[in-house]
Amino acid sequence: MCGIVGIISYKRAPLGRYMIQMLSSLQHRGEDSAGVAMYWDKRHTRENEFIVRMLTKDIIGSAGKISTAIAASGGNIRKIKLYPIGGYSFDRYVVKIPEGNLERLSEEVRNTDVSEVLSIGRWMEIVKDVGWVKNLDNKFDVSNWVSTHGIGHVRFSTESSVDLLHAHPFQSFSYPDMAVVENGQITNYYKVRNILAKKGHKFYTENDAELIVHYVAELIGSGATLDEALSQSVEELDGPFTYIISTANEIGVVRDKLGLRPGVIMESDSINMIASEEATLRLVGIEGTIRNLRPGEVKVWRVN
Protein backbone atom coordinates (compact mmCIF):
# COMPACT_ATOMS: atom_id res chain seq x y z
CA MET A 1 0.00 0.00 0.00
CA CYS A 2 3.02 2.39 0.44
CA GLY A 3 2.85 6.17 0.64
CA ILE A 4 4.78 8.53 -1.62
CA VAL A 5 5.38 12.29 -1.61
CA GLY A 6 7.22 14.82 -3.73
CA ILE A 7 7.81 18.52 -3.30
CA ILE A 8 9.52 21.20 -5.40
CA SER A 9 10.06 24.87 -4.57
CA TYR A 10 11.00 27.78 -6.77
CA LYS A 11 13.50 28.86 -4.12
CA ARG A 12 15.38 27.16 -1.28
CA ALA A 13 12.88 26.33 1.47
CA PRO A 14 12.52 24.22 4.65
CA LEU A 15 11.43 21.25 2.58
CA GLY A 16 12.85 18.77 5.08
CA ARG A 17 10.23 19.85 7.60
CA TYR A 18 7.46 19.62 5.03
CA MET A 19 8.72 16.21 3.92
CA ILE A 20 8.66 14.76 7.44
CA GLN A 21 5.20 16.21 8.08
CA MET A 22 3.85 14.72 4.86
CA LEU A 23 5.44 11.31 5.33
CA SER A 24 4.26 11.15 8.95
CA SER A 25 0.69 11.72 7.78
CA LEU A 26 1.08 8.69 5.49
CA GLN A 27 2.61 6.43 8.15
CA HIS A 28 -0.54 4.28 8.19
CA ARG A 29 0.27 3.25 4.61
CA GLY A 30 3.50 1.52 5.64
CA GLU A 31 5.72 1.02 8.68
CA ASP A 32 8.50 -1.17 7.23
CA SER A 33 10.83 1.67 6.20
CA ALA A 34 11.00 5.37 5.38
CA GLY A 35 13.34 7.32 3.15
CA VAL A 36 13.90 10.59 1.33
CA ALA A 37 16.00 11.94 -1.54
CA MET A 38 16.66 15.66 -1.15
CA TYR A 39 18.55 18.08 -3.38
CA TRP A 40 21.05 20.70 -2.28
CA ASP A 41 21.71 24.11 -3.79
CA LYS A 42 24.06 23.65 -6.77
CA ARG A 43 26.18 26.60 -5.63
CA HIS A 44 27.43 24.51 -2.70
CA THR A 45 29.06 21.78 -4.79
CA ARG A 46 32.48 21.39 -6.41
CA GLU A 47 33.40 19.78 -9.70
CA ASN A 48 33.54 15.97 -9.55
CA GLU A 49 32.62 15.87 -5.85
CA PHE A 50 29.85 13.44 -4.92
CA ILE A 51 27.98 12.64 -1.71
CA VAL A 52 28.20 8.87 -1.17
CA ARG A 53 25.98 7.14 1.38
CA MET A 54 27.04 3.62 2.44
CA LEU A 55 25.64 0.98 4.77
CA THR A 56 28.72 -0.45 6.50
CA LYS A 57 29.22 -3.25 9.01
CA ASP A 58 30.46 -1.76 12.26
CA ILE A 59 33.52 -3.99 12.56
CA ILE A 60 37.25 -3.45 12.95
CA GLY A 61 38.97 -2.80 9.65
CA SER A 62 35.89 -1.80 7.64
CA ALA A 63 37.00 1.83 7.23
CA GLY A 64 40.34 0.75 5.79
CA LYS A 65 38.69 -1.57 3.28
CA ILE A 66 36.34 1.18 2.13
CA SER A 67 39.19 3.68 1.73
CA THR A 68 41.07 1.15 -0.40
CA ALA A 69 37.97 0.51 -2.50
CA ILE A 70 37.41 4.22 -3.13
CA ALA A 71 41.04 4.67 -4.16
CA ALA A 72 40.82 1.65 -6.48
CA SER A 73 37.88 3.27 -8.28
CA GLY A 74 39.84 6.48 -8.84
CA GLY A 75 38.31 8.45 -5.99
CA ASN A 76 39.72 10.62 -3.23
CA ILE A 77 37.92 11.03 0.11
CA ARG A 78 37.28 14.65 1.09
CA LYS A 79 35.02 14.27 4.16
CA ILE A 80 33.56 11.47 6.33
CA LYS A 81 30.67 11.43 8.79
CA LEU A 82 29.47 8.26 10.52
CA TYR A 83 25.92 7.42 11.62
CA PRO A 84 25.97 4.22 13.78
CA ILE A 85 22.62 2.41 13.77
CA GLY A 86 23.28 -0.76 15.79
CA GLY A 87 25.82 -3.13 14.29
CA TYR A 88 25.98 -1.00 11.15
CA SER A 89 26.85 2.55 10.21
CA PHE A 90 25.08 4.66 7.58
CA ASP A 91 28.24 6.50 6.55
CA ARG A 92 28.38 9.76 4.60
CA TYR A 93 31.44 10.31 2.41
CA VAL A 94 32.24 13.24 0.16
CA VAL A 95 34.38 11.79 -2.63
CA LYS A 96 36.11 13.47 -5.55
CA ILE A 97 35.84 11.12 -8.50
CA PRO A 98 35.16 11.33 -12.26
CA GLU A 99 31.46 10.85 -12.99
CA GLY A 100 32.22 7.92 -15.28
CA ASN A 101 33.70 5.99 -12.36
CA LEU A 102 30.62 6.03 -10.11
CA GLU A 103 29.40 2.55 -11.02
CA ARG A 104 32.90 1.19 -10.49
CA LEU A 105 32.96 2.87 -7.07
CA SER A 106 29.78 1.02 -6.12
CA GLU A 107 31.24 -2.30 -7.31
CA GLU A 108 34.56 -1.82 -5.49
CA VAL A 109 32.76 -1.03 -2.23
CA ARG A 110 30.41 -3.99 -2.63
CA ASN A 111 33.40 -6.30 -3.18
CA THR A 112 34.75 -5.44 0.28
CA ASP A 113 31.90 -7.55 1.76
CA VAL A 114 31.62 -5.00 4.58
CA SER A 115 29.69 -2.21 2.88
CA GLU A 116 27.06 -1.37 0.26
CA VAL A 117 26.58 1.95 -1.53
CA LEU A 118 22.99 3.17 -1.08
CA SER A 119 23.26 6.47 -2.95
CA ILE A 120 25.62 8.67 -4.91
CA GLY A 121 24.79 12.21 -5.93
CA ARG A 122 26.40 15.50 -6.79
CA TRP A 123 23.42 17.45 -5.45
CA MET A 124 21.21 14.61 -4.23
CA GLU A 125 21.40 12.89 -0.87
CA ILE A 126 19.37 9.82 0.09
CA VAL A 127 18.77 8.69 3.66
CA LYS A 128 16.66 5.70 4.70
CA ASP A 129 15.75 3.82 7.85
CA VAL A 130 13.71 0.76 8.73
CA GLY A 131 10.62 1.50 10.78
CA TRP A 132 8.86 4.79 11.31
CA VAL A 133 9.35 8.26 9.84
CA LYS A 134 10.20 9.64 13.28
CA ASN A 135 13.19 7.25 13.44
CA LEU A 136 14.47 8.62 10.14
CA ASP A 137 14.15 12.19 11.37
CA ASN A 138 15.76 11.45 14.73
CA LYS A 139 18.84 9.91 13.09
CA PHE A 140 19.37 12.31 10.21
CA ASP A 141 17.62 15.52 11.32
CA VAL A 142 15.75 15.72 8.01
CA SER A 143 13.35 18.31 9.46
CA ASN A 144 16.14 20.88 9.39
CA TRP A 145 17.22 20.27 5.80
CA VAL A 146 16.83 23.25 3.47
CA SER A 147 16.43 22.17 -0.13
CA THR A 148 15.01 22.94 -3.57
CA HIS A 149 13.13 19.68 -4.12
CA GLY A 150 12.82 16.12 -2.90
CA ILE A 151 10.84 12.88 -2.82
CA GLY A 152 9.92 10.53 0.02
CA HIS A 153 8.43 7.12 0.79
CA VAL A 154 6.92 5.00 3.54
CA ARG A 155 6.94 1.30 2.74
CA PHE A 156 4.60 -1.62 3.22
CA SER A 157 6.53 -4.58 1.83
CA THR A 158 4.62 -7.07 -0.30
CA GLU A 159 7.53 -8.87 -2.00
CA SER A 160 11.20 -8.10 -1.33
CA SER A 161 13.11 -7.97 1.96
CA VAL A 162 12.61 -5.37 4.68
CA ASP A 163 16.01 -3.71 5.09
CA LEU A 164 17.84 -0.54 4.06
CA LEU A 165 18.97 -2.00 0.74
CA HIS A 166 15.34 -2.55 -0.31
CA ALA A 167 13.97 0.69 1.15
CA HIS A 168 12.98 3.53 -1.20
CA PRO A 169 14.16 5.82 -2.76
CA PHE A 170 16.18 3.95 -5.40
CA GLN A 171 18.72 5.34 -7.85
CA SER A 172 20.81 4.26 -10.84
CA PHE A 173 24.55 4.78 -10.47
CA SER A 174 24.78 5.15 -14.25
CA TYR A 175 22.75 8.37 -14.04
CA PRO A 176 23.62 10.34 -10.87
CA ASP A 177 21.12 12.60 -9.11
CA MET A 178 18.10 10.59 -10.26
CA ALA A 179 15.90 8.81 -7.70
CA VAL A 180 12.47 7.17 -7.63
CA VAL A 181 9.73 6.24 -5.13
CA GLU A 182 6.80 4.03 -6.07
CA ASN A 183 3.44 2.85 -4.82
CA GLY A 184 2.34 -0.20 -6.75
CA GLN A 185 3.75 -3.06 -8.79
CA ILE A 186 5.33 -3.53 -12.22
CA THR A 187 3.87 -6.81 -13.43
CA ASN A 188 6.16 -7.19 -16.48
CA TYR A 189 9.17 -6.64 -14.21
CA TYR A 190 11.29 -9.61 -15.38
CA LYS A 191 10.72 -8.95 -19.07
CA VAL A 192 11.83 -5.31 -18.81
CA ARG A 193 14.66 -6.14 -16.39
CA ASN A 194 16.15 -8.68 -18.80
CA ILE A 195 16.16 -6.09 -21.59
CA LEU A 196 17.89 -3.49 -19.41
CA ALA A 197 20.41 -6.01 -18.03
CA LYS A 198 21.48 -6.86 -21.59
CA LYS A 199 22.14 -3.14 -22.09
CA GLY A 200 24.49 -3.13 -19.11
CA HIS A 201 22.29 -1.98 -16.25
CA LYS A 202 23.18 -3.63 -12.94
CA PHE A 203 20.47 -4.57 -10.45
CA TYR A 204 21.16 -4.96 -6.74
CA THR A 205 17.67 -5.87 -5.50
CA GLU A 206 14.45 -7.54 -6.64
CA ASN A 207 12.45 -4.37 -5.95
CA ASP A 208 10.54 -3.10 -9.00
CA ALA A 209 11.17 0.53 -8.05
CA GLU A 210 14.83 -0.08 -8.89
CA LEU A 211 13.67 -1.24 -12.33
CA ILE A 212 11.86 2.06 -12.92
CA VAL A 213 14.90 4.24 -12.28
CA HIS A 214 17.06 2.13 -14.62
CA TYR A 215 14.31 2.23 -17.25
CA VAL A 216 14.03 6.03 -17.16
CA ALA A 217 17.83 6.47 -17.01
CA GLU A 218 18.18 4.34 -20.15
CA LEU A 219 15.70 6.49 -22.09
CA ILE A 220 17.20 9.79 -20.95
CA GLY A 221 20.68 8.49 -21.73
CA SER A 222 19.41 7.83 -25.26
CA GLY A 223 18.27 11.43 -25.66
CA ALA A 224 14.71 11.51 -24.32
CA THR A 225 13.45 14.29 -22.06
CA LEU A 226 12.02 13.35 -18.67
CA ASP A 227 8.52 14.06 -19.99
CA GLU A 228 9.07 11.75 -22.94
CA ALA A 229 10.57 8.98 -20.81
CA LEU A 230 7.70 9.05 -18.34
CA SER A 231 5.09 9.06 -21.11
CA GLN A 232 6.75 6.02 -22.67
CA SER A 233 6.74 4.25 -19.30
CA VAL A 234 2.94 4.53 -19.16
CA GLU A 235 2.76 2.48 -22.36
CA GLU A 236 5.54 -0.03 -21.68
CA LEU A 237 5.34 -0.73 -17.92
CA ASP A 238 2.38 -2.89 -16.91
CA GLY A 239 0.58 -3.04 -13.60
CA PRO A 240 -0.98 -0.77 -10.99
CA PHE A 241 1.43 2.03 -10.04
CA THR A 242 2.05 5.64 -9.26
CA TYR A 243 5.67 6.71 -9.07
CA ILE A 244 7.57 9.95 -8.52
CA ILE A 245 11.00 10.47 -10.05
CA SER A 246 13.46 13.26 -9.36
CA THR A 247 16.54 14.60 -11.13
CA ALA A 248 18.95 17.44 -10.35
CA ASN A 249 16.39 20.01 -11.50
CA GLU A 250 13.07 18.19 -12.03
CA ILE A 251 10.35 16.15 -10.38
CA GLY A 252 7.94 14.04 -12.41
CA VAL A 253 4.98 11.88 -11.43
CA VAL A 254 3.22 9.12 -13.39
CA ARG A 255 -0.07 7.32 -12.77
CA ASP A 256 -0.82 4.01 -14.49
CA LYS A 257 -3.20 4.11 -17.42
CA LEU A 258 -6.03 2.48 -15.46
CA GLY A 259 -5.64 4.76 -12.44
CA LEU A 260 -5.32 1.82 -10.04
CA ARG A 261 -3.00 3.63 -7.59
CA PRO A 262 -3.76 7.09 -6.16
CA GLY A 263 -1.91 10.29 -6.95
CA VAL A 264 -2.88 13.81 -5.92
CA ILE A 265 -1.06 17.04 -6.85
CA MET A 266 -1.11 20.60 -5.56
CA GLU A 267 0.19 23.57 -7.54
CA SER A 268 0.83 27.04 -6.13
CA ASP A 269 2.89 30.13 -6.97
CA SER A 270 5.82 28.99 -4.79
CA ILE A 271 5.64 25.23 -4.19
CA ASN A 272 4.21 22.21 -6.00
CA MET A 273 3.55 18.92 -4.23
CA ILE A 274 2.52 15.32 -4.88
CA ALA A 275 1.16 12.76 -2.42
CA SER A 276 -0.81 9.54 -2.15
CA GLU A 277 -3.60 11.31 -0.26
CA GLU A 278 -5.21 14.76 -0.45
CA ALA A 279 -5.09 15.31 3.32
CA THR A 280 -1.28 15.12 3.17
CA LEU A 281 -1.13 18.09 0.80
CA ARG A 282 -3.38 20.21 3.01
CA LEU A 283 -1.29 19.44 6.09
CA VAL A 284 1.62 21.72 5.11
CA GLY A 285 -0.62 24.80 5.17
CA ILE A 286 0.20 26.15 1.70
CA GLU A 287 -2.69 27.35 -0.44
CA GLY A 288 -2.89 25.94 -3.94
CA THR A 289 -4.98 24.11 -6.51
CA ILE A 290 -5.44 20.43 -5.61
CA ARG A 291 -6.61 17.71 -7.99
CA ASN A 292 -6.26 14.00 -8.69
CA LEU A 293 -3.90 12.85 -11.40
CA ARG A 294 -5.82 11.41 -14.31
CA PRO A 295 -5.22 7.75 -15.29
CA GLY A 296 -2.13 7.63 -17.51
CA GLU A 297 -1.22 11.26 -16.76
CA VAL A 298 2.38 12.49 -16.60
CA LYS A 299 3.29 15.71 -14.80
CA VAL A 300 6.78 17.26 -14.67
CA TRP A 301 7.92 20.35 -12.75
CA ARG A 302 11.31 22.02 -13.03
CA VAL A 303 13.38 24.11 -10.65
CA ASN A 304 13.87 27.64 -12.04
Domain boundaries, the chain: 3-45+129-302, 46-121
pLDDT, one tens digit per residue, over 115-171 is 999 899 999 999 998 899 999 999 999 999 999 999 999 998 766 677 887 899 999
- Tell me the CB-side half-sphere exposure of residue 172, using CA atoms within 13 A: 26
Put residue 139 in one of left, alpha, beta given phi > 0 → left and psi -120 to 50 → alpha. alpha
* pLDDT of res. 187: 96
3-45+129-302 and 46-121: identical CATH topology: no
pLDDT at 285 over 90: no
- Rounded mean pLDDT, 60-73: 94
pLDDT, one tens digit per residue, over 202-244 is 898 888 999 999 999 999 999 999 999 999 999 999 999 999 9
- DSSP single-letter state for residue 99: G
- Tell me the CB-side half-sphere exposure of residue 130, using CA atoms within 13 A: 12
d(CA 49, CA 67): 16
Among the options 2, 117, 245, 253, which is catalytic?
2
pLDDT, one tens digit per residue, over 236-279 is 999 999 999 999 999 999 999 999 999 999 999 889 999 999 99
Q: What is the mean pLDDT of the chain?
A: 92
d(CA 210, CA 202): 10
* pLDDT of res. 83: 83
d(CA 280, CA 154): 13
* pLDDT of res. 3: 96
First to last CA, the chain: 33
Whether 2 is a known active-site residue: answer yes
Q: Among the CATH numbers 3.30.70.60, 3.40.50.800, 3.20.20.70, 2.40.50.140, which is that of 46-121? A: 3.30.70.60
* pLDDT of res. 41: 72
pTM: 0.94
pLDDT at 1 over 80: no
pLDDT at 43 over 60: no
d(CA 30, CA 155): 5
* pLDDT of res. 12: 77
- Determine what percent of the chain is predicted with pLDDT higher than 90: 77
d(CA 280, CA 21): 8
pLDDT, one tens digit per residue, over 162-202 is 788 789 999 988 888 999 999 999 999 999 999 999 999 98
pLDDT at 37 over 70: yes
For domain 3-45+129-302, give the fold.
Answer: Glutamine Phosphoribosylpyrophosphate, subunit 1, domain 1 (3.60.20)
